[in-house]
Structure 1
Amino acid sequence: MDLSLLDRIAGRRVLVVGDVMLDEYLWGEIERISPEAPVPVLDERSRHHAVGGAGNVAANLAALGCRAGIGSVVGEDGPARTLRAELEALGVDGRALVVDRERPTPLKTRVIARRQQLVRIDREERRPLAPWAEERLLEAVRGCLGGCGAVVLSDYGKGVVTEGLVRGITQAARAAGVPVVGDPKGRDYRRYRGVTLLTPNRKEAAEATGIALTDAAAVERAGARLLEIVGSEAMLITLSEEGMALFRRGEPPLRLPTRAREVYDVTGAGDTVVAALAAALAAGADLVAAAELANMAAGVVVGKVGTATATAEEVRAFAGAATDPAGRKVVPREEAVRLAARLRAEGKRLVFTNGCFDLLHVGHIRYLQQARALGDCLMVGLNTDASVRRLKGERRPLIRQEDRAHVLAALACVDYVVLFDEDTPLELIRELRPEVLVKGGDYTREQVVGHELVEAAGGRVELIPVVEGASTTAIVERIAALYGRPG
């Protein structure tokens, strides 16, 4: 893959049109049963919001460095105001959002207790847009096409992406020389005629063609059939762990094997694929280069827990990590905080531990393996070299921080490593808000830094027994005894 494409993407304008929605996560505790009915009573503790649907495509474009805009129809309500604020925080231009007072803003509320999702409550309209709203949205889209490098049609089947809207957008985009990438929904793909490229997944392609995609030959038949139905320039079928298949008119099919080295969660990967394709096309890339970038970006996001985005820096690191997949697991502090927030939003359990990890030994390995088993994601806080020197003296650490972080990240049981420069991880724990805080059995609960913060938030402290005789000090003393004197 030509990594210079990532530089050319920066600043390109891409407009996303489709079903935007607001995702709401409500956390609480259940300690009693209602006297009114045999149902649990949830005491609400906190709420979190994130953009969903077409909004997540826009978030992915912004993460890649594009100037993303979004066009959709929202209500005149609280969720719409929250949605606009979330989009603004991401740097997404919301000028093409049309207000329909009779149509509520799509809201999906997930109720979570003890890290388990209890119920999801959907508030949405699935009927097609009113004619006036369709026309007003089309006018807004036409007004945004100037200087736009690509358009994405993100169809979640909620009624915004009507056949008339698709026809109007593709005609206007064709006149302006702007490619249109569609993420389809439903069985009848004839309504997407005019798009440059569609990105169905295996299940969607099977439903649209009536062909079970059980082998490579079936995939090729489905791809050819979809090109015939849609009349598009190309078709990209995503095949989960089998990668992607690109079909172009007059060209043989191109199979792109998956680039993911570890798959934690495929949530939102389709949004990343369509965003990366559009970003690449906006930068003037051909279809093959665009598909390669999309495949790489998808490899980044499925290696994260929960709905995620891939930054240009992450894709660049991932592309160079064919022989070094550990490097992308060492994250800046700001990214670690974002990852922790995303985990909470998905109801996942974050486990945190910390240490110097100077000369990694079997005691460390067994400790980290047991810590990982306590939740969904293990994040390790690692003392910087300066921090280690203050704690252990000028002769330590023996191994520099970059190398210590890399060795830790190479362990399958470690999901992320984040460096901290303070003497203790207290502030980092305050920022990450882990559900499980882990230390060795040579500590007492009261001695564990940050135990008050974690327990006050409903989390817990776990102490893991140490391996007798396994310590960095013991290794250093043995080396000194064996090699410290001549002869």
Structure 2
Amino acid sequence: MADAPRPPRLSDATRHDDATLLARAVPAVEGRRIAVVGDVILDCYRSDGGRSHCFPGGAGVIAGHLRRLGAQPVLVTQLANDGNARQLRRGLDDLGIEVHAVPTDAAQPVRTRRVQGHRITATPRQELIESPPPVTTGRIAGAITERRLDLDAVIFADFGHGTVTPELLDGVLPILRPSTPVLTGDVSGPRASLLAMRKFDLLTPTERELRRLSPSPSPLTPLDALGRRLVTELDLKHLLVTRDASGCVRYSSNGTKREQPSLASMYQTRVFDEVGAGDALLAAATLGLCSGLGIRSSVRLGQIAAAAAIAQIGNAAMGWERLHRVIAPQATSAASYPAQAASMPAA
């Protein structure tokens, strides 16, 4: 069997460039007003001893990353009337996130993972059973459009639980696009609305999601063909496709393709928990774009955030200190959870 390809060797110049990028980004992103539209999921981790740590996941952790990196996010989502939703609301309030919550009769989505040493196993994911009623979609649309003139960017994070639907996107995108400097998005799950995300500045699906949701789902279709076709059909500026441990590929509207090596591999980041890497990438890359950093620097910033996310157990919001730790690693322990973890509410 052939040896796996080694990641490119990091030079001192590369480390210096990444450190310089972080230094530029800190003041540039401060106070950016960004709406995050999507499903909030309670992410819970159960250890062998029975103790649980829970975090606002889904669109909640994207807003959390933005807040801890200095932005002013507003989260537009659905919240149920149950203990899990109340736990989520407390976690979002602790992060200082402005929340516009549309009530839903559905149960609040929960993802549970069991932590056994350094091994994490997930329970089957809950999926949306029914689409939300038109009145719910209308309230979500109203909350977005009312704020549109005060926003530097809008992120649509569709996790398949009904906050983001094709009907919502068809209704709000023609209103948002003329006044919103940056539109970005990501999808997760078979019910996601990737093909309704038109005229976006950046979409960040994984290769698996792209193949599952694209018009040509054949596993034999080359990734380049899928990527370029989606950029053309959805009129995207940029499409960034994550290819697991091998990094990303960026396709742009001008026809260019750029390979983005895995920074986690290049910096030899120890992988403790892959959950939330895509959320961190999307949050940081969006911040870069709406702060004038350009697509190359914005994607690089997102990759640093993704590398930082997998180096911790628990899908917690991260500040600049975590991103700097990727560039200048320090001794860390996987035994402790981030300070934002909260105890799981009683059933």
**TM-score interval (norm. to shorter):** 0.7 to 0.9
Distance 1:115 1:243 in 2: 23
The answer to whether residue 217 in structure 2 is matched with residue 210 in structure 1 is: yes
Distance 1:82 1:140 in 2: 23
Letter in 1 for 2:87: T
User: Is the contact made by 2:29 and 2:288 (CA closer than 8 Å) also made in structure 1?
Assistant: yes
Q: 3-state SS of the aligned residue for 1:176?
A: coil
Measure how far apart 1:124 and its partner are.
6.8
Measure how far apart 1:115 and its partner are.
9.5
C-alpha distance 343-206 of structure 1, shift in aligned 2 (>3 A): farther
C-alpha distance 211-273 of structure 1, shift in aligned 2 (>3 A): farther
Letter in 2 for 1:77: D
- 2:75 aligns with 70
Find the partner of 1:284 among 275, 281, 292: 292
C-alpha distance 177-108 of structure 1, shift in aligned 2 (>3 A): closer
Measured against aligned partners, the alpha-carbon deviations of 1:263-305 in whole angstroms (never above 9, x if no partner) come to: 4132110111111111112212322221111112112222333
Computed over aligned residues only, the root mean square deviation of the Cα atoms, in angstroms, reads 3.3
- 1:7 aligns with 27
Find the partner of 1:161 among 153, 160, 164: 164
Measured against aligned partners, the alpha-carbon deviations of 1:210-265 in whole angstroms (never above 9, x if no partner) come to: 35489xxx332221022123221211111222211111111421111111122413
Distance 2:187 2:128 in 1: 18
Q: 3-state SS of the aligned residue for 1:133?
A: helix
Q: 3-state SS of the aligned residue for 2:259?
A: strand
Letter in 2 for 1:23: D
Measure how far apart 1:14 and its partner are.
1.4
Letter in 2 for 1:328: Q
Letter in 2 for 1:287: I
C-alpha distance 120-300 of structure 1, shift in aligned 2 (>3 A): closer
Measured against aligned partners, the alpha-carbon deviations of 1:381-439 in whole angstroms (never above 9, x if no partner) come to: xxxxxxxxxxxxxxxxxxxxxxxxxxxxxxxxxxxxxxxxxxxxxxxxxxxxxxxxxxx
Percent identical: 27
1:413-432 correspondence runs (5 A): none
Q: 3-state SS of the aligned residue for 2:57?
A: strand
- 1:104 aligns with 107
User: Is the contact made by 1:23 and 1:52 (CA closer than 8 Å) also made in structure 2?
Assistant: yes
Distance 1:117 1:166 in 2: 35
User: Is the contact made by 1:107 and 1:124 (CA closer than 8 Å) also made in structure 2?
Assistant: no
Find the partner of 1:91 among 57, 77, 96: 96
Distance 1:251 1:116 in 2: 41
C-alpha distance 9-338 of structure 1, shift in aligned 2 (>3 A): farther
Distance 2:342 2:107 in 1: 28
Structure 2 runs not aligned, ≥5 long: 1-17
Letter in 2 for 1:134: T
Find the partner of 1:230 among 234, 253, 261: 234
Find the partner of 1:315 among 311, 323, 345: 323
User: Is the contact made by 2:43 and 2:57 (CA closer than 8 Å) also made in structure 1?
Assistant: yes
1:145-184 correspondence runs (5 A): 145-184=148-187
Distance 2:30 2:283 in 1: 13
The answer to whether residue 271 in structure 2 is matched with residue 271 in structure 1 is: no
C-alpha distance 226-25 of structure 1, shift in aligned 2 (>3 A): same
- 2:203 aligns with 198
Measure how far apart 1:344 and its partner are.
9.8
C-alpha distance 336-226 of structure 1, shift in aligned 2 (>3 A): same
The answer to whether residue 142 in structure 2 is matched with residue 139 in structure 1 is: yes
- 1:254 aligns with 258
Letter in 2 for 1:262: T
C-alpha distance 123-223 of structure 1, shift in aligned 2 (>3 A): closer
Distance 1:284 1:341 in 2: 30
- 2:131 aligns with 128
Distance 1:280 1:157 in 2: 26
Measured against aligned partners, the alpha-carbon deviations of 1:29-67 in whole angstroms (never above 9, x if no partner) come to: 6xxxxxxxxxxxxxxx65443212111211222232221
TM-score, scaled relative to structure 2: 0.79
Q: 3-state SS of the aligned residue for 1:329?
A: coil
Letter in 2 for 1:158: H
Find the partner of 2:330 among 328, 336, 358: 328
Letter in 1 for 2:260: L
Measure how far apart 1:114 and its partner are.
9.4
Rg (Cα) greater in structure: 1
C-alpha distance 227-132 of structure 1, shift in aligned 2 (>3 A): same
Structure 1 runs not aligned, ≥5 long: 30-44, 322-326, 346-487
Letter in 2 for 1:22: L
Measure how far apart 1:17 and its partner are.
0.5
C-alpha distance 112-298 of structure 1, shift in aligned 2 (>3 A): closer
Measure how far apart 1:307 and its partner are.
2.6
C-alpha distance 143-266 of structure 1, shift in aligned 2 (>3 A): same
User: Is the contact made by 2:54 and 2:343 (CA closer than 8 Å) also made in structure 1?
Assistant: no
